[in-house]
Amino acid sequence: EFSKATTGVNDDAKKKDIPPSPAFVRLMWRRPKSAPEPISGNYLYPTGTPPTYVVDSPFPADDRSIGYERGNTVNKAWDDATTDAAMEAAETIATNLQSIARVPNNAPDRVEKLKAFSREFVTRAFRRPMTKEIEQTYVDKQFQVAASPEIAVKRVVILALKSPRFLYREIGNRKDPYALASELSFGLWDSVPDSELLQAVANGQLATRAGIQQQATRMAGHPRAWTKLRDFLLLWLKVDETPDIVKSQRSFPGFDDAAATDLRTSLDLFLQNTAWSKEADFRQLMLSKTQYLNGRLSKLYGGNLPADAPFQAVASEDRSGVLTHPYLMSRYAYLEGSSPIHRGVLVVRSMFGRMLSPPPQAFTPLAASLHPTLTTRQRVELQTKPAACNSCHGLINPLGFTFEKYDAIGRLRKEENGKKIDSTGSYVSRSGDAANFTDAEDLAKYIANSEEAHAAFTEKLFQHLTKQPIRAYGAKTLPNLQDSFKKDNYNIRSLMVSIMMAAVPESAPASKQ
């Protein structure tokens, strides 16, 4: 346009009002072992959050042998990792001190403000106000001996992050209000207490059961609590890790990496909109007829959404809750066929909380090609027929068979190898009561109303929040929690609050600090 103006080109006939063309910005991400995808609004919040620093220093994996992560050992590798992380954090803070501490480099009172920042850092790290002795050791002395304020701050950070007061949970007087605050914050958020919780302690609010419950209820409604609950639900369903879900392109030509990623998103949406809804009803995890599909999944599973349709709630009369979700059905299946054993084990262990012994020896499922006239159910019955197998498979198989109307990608089927699908099953509870099911929907209804399943869910959630076995809190803790769960209409968020109230001591004296 400039060149036209300088050379005398006449633009009088040129259209002046060009209609704006559509434009958009797409925010993408790639989750581990998943295809690139737009970030769902499900993961976005309308309020800002402080920047989070993630250290590069690797840590050894936590022990999960007892069913949940818990740092119950201290070894050299872990100690070295905490040292590396502390030094890395200190270097980062010192390098960005002006923006992190919000103290200008030319401020006349810079040293005093950096001391105040250091005191606040140590207070938050230790989760309680400092005593005079601790302040002298961790802050004042470091500013006295350091060659510069920056080095002093680095020393403060390293000392605080390597201190047992930061690295380990409170021991001793569990009735101390600051210890109670930490118990609530780590239980519900996996993090240190926020400013509001610390202020509640300072005001004496955690000196009463009512005050503790008020804070627990507030915290259970925070997005951080959903993150903790979501982690639990994925552990409960044994899908906390995200392996590659690969299926035979010959048998399932539409099932690719993008479809597998969409299924995981669909599961996340189902869990959040069910377990984190206002009702948060455990029973709806089993009974809900709502699935979340986009255009690609709708086509794959026989729906009628447009090809470019975003994720949305869709009624699905042939499914019932999370157990029949296509992601779980795909996860608990083989390359081409379903796996009643894997599906049954999930129900036995996670839904009913029952123990299973490992198989006496490793085995490979009977290949379908060796028995082309048999259905999957018939092959499983044939392979697990020996008496040595029956002690466990007598429990596993009848539960796993109820899912047989879902194939290896969780798609509905009516027959296999030309034979009608048999999805009948049964279960005998710990108390000896027998139940028969026509299919997985029948099983889901049974689980939704089963006291045995309610107890198993409550116990597993208790362990996840407190990192302690429920029996350590007394024989009445589980039945009491079951009663409150029932009275609260099986509201999972209310159960989280009840668990934290059961985990804290009966009384909490006012803080003297």
Question: Each residue of 290-317: pLDDT tens digit?
Answer: 999 999 999 999 999 999 999 999 999 9
Asked if residue 473 belongs to a domain, the reply is no
- Give the pLDDT band (50/70/90) at residue 9: low
Q: Residue 53: what pLDDT?
A: 87
Q: Residue 289: what pLDDT?
A: 97
| Shared-domain flag, residues 444 and 359 | yes
| Nearest CA-CA partner of 338 in 425, 398, 413 | 413
The SS3 of residue 435 is strand
Q: Residue 160: what pLDDT?
A: 98
What percentage of the chain has pLDDT greater than the value 70?
92
More confident residue, 456 or 29: 456
Residue 512 has pLDDT above 70, yes or no: no
Residue 5 has pLDDT above 60, yes or no: no
| Shared-domain flag, residues 381 and 254 | yes
The SS3 of residue 297 is helix
Q: Residue 369: what pLDDT?
A: 84
Asked if residue 48 belongs to a domain, the reply is no
| Nearest CA-CA partner of 326 in 227, 379, 255 | 255
What percentage of the chain has pLDDT greater than the value 90?
76
Q: Residue 13: what pLDDT?
A: 60
Residue 50 has pLDDT above 80, yes or no: no
pLDDT in tens, 115-151: 999 999 999 999 999 999 999 999 999 999 999 999 9
Asked if residue 101 belongs to a domain, the reply is yes
Asked if residue 463 belongs to a domain, the reply is no
- How far apart CA 126 and CA 124 sit, in angstroms, is 5
| Shared-domain flag, residues 244 and 102 | no
Asked if residue 51 belongs to a domain, the reply is no
The SS3 of residue 458 is helix
| Residue 348 neighbours by CB under 8 Å, 6+ apart | 354, 356, 395, 396, 399
- How far apart CA 56 and CA 499 sit, in angstroms, is 34
- Give the pLDDT band (50/70/90) at residue 365: confident
Overall average pLDDT of the 332-352 stretch: 97
| Shared-domain flag, residues 153 and 239 | no
- Give the pLDDT band (50/70/90) at residue 511: very low
Asked if residue 192 belongs to a domain, the reply is no
| Shared-domain flag, residues 302 and 391 | yes
Q: Which residues pair with 420 in a beta bridge?
A: 415
419-420 and 28-29 strand pairing: unpaired
Asked if residue 34 belongs to a domain, the reply is no
- How far apart CA 13 and CA 29 sit, in angstroms, is 46
Residue 1 has pLDDT above 50, yes or no: no
| Shared-domain flag, residues 245 and 326 | yes
Given 167, 189, 215, the domain boundary residue is 167
Given 421, 448, 475, the domain boundary residue is 448
Q: CA separation (Å) from 180 to 68, 451, 494, 505?
A: 22, 31, 19, 8
| Shared-domain flag, residues 143 and 275 | no
Threshold 0.75, pTM exceeds: yes
- How far apart CA 409 and CA 326 sit, in angstroms, is 6
The SS3 of residue 347 is helix
More confident residue, 369 or 133: 133
- Using an 8 Å Cβ cutoff, are 421 and 440 in contact? no
Given 448, 465, 496, the domain boundary residue is 448
| Shared-domain flag, residues 151 and 265 | no
Q: Residue 171: what pLDDT?
A: 67
At 239, the amino acid letter reads V
Asked if residue 300 belongs to a domain, the reply is yes
Q: Residue 513: what pLDDT?
A: 42
| Nearest CA-CA partner of 410 in 491, 313, 302, 509 | 302
| Shared-domain flag, residues 257 and 138 | no
416: alpha, beta or left? (left if phi > 0; alpha if psi -120 to 50): beta
pLDDT in tens, 72-125: 677 899 999 999 999 999 999 999 999 999 999 999 999 999 999 999 999 999
pLDDT in tens, 221-260: 999 999 999 999 999 999 988 677 999 999 999 999 999 9
Q: Residue 494: what pLDDT?
A: 98
| Shared-domain flag, residues 365 and 259 | yes
Residue range of the domain that includes 140 = 76-167
- Using an 8 Å Cβ cutoff, are 59 and 76 in contact? no
| Shared-domain flag, residues 244 and 156 | no
Q: What does pLDDT average to over the chain?
A: 91
| Shared-domain flag, residues 250 and 380 | yes
Overall average pLDDT of the 375-391 stretch: 91
Structural domains in the chain (count):
2
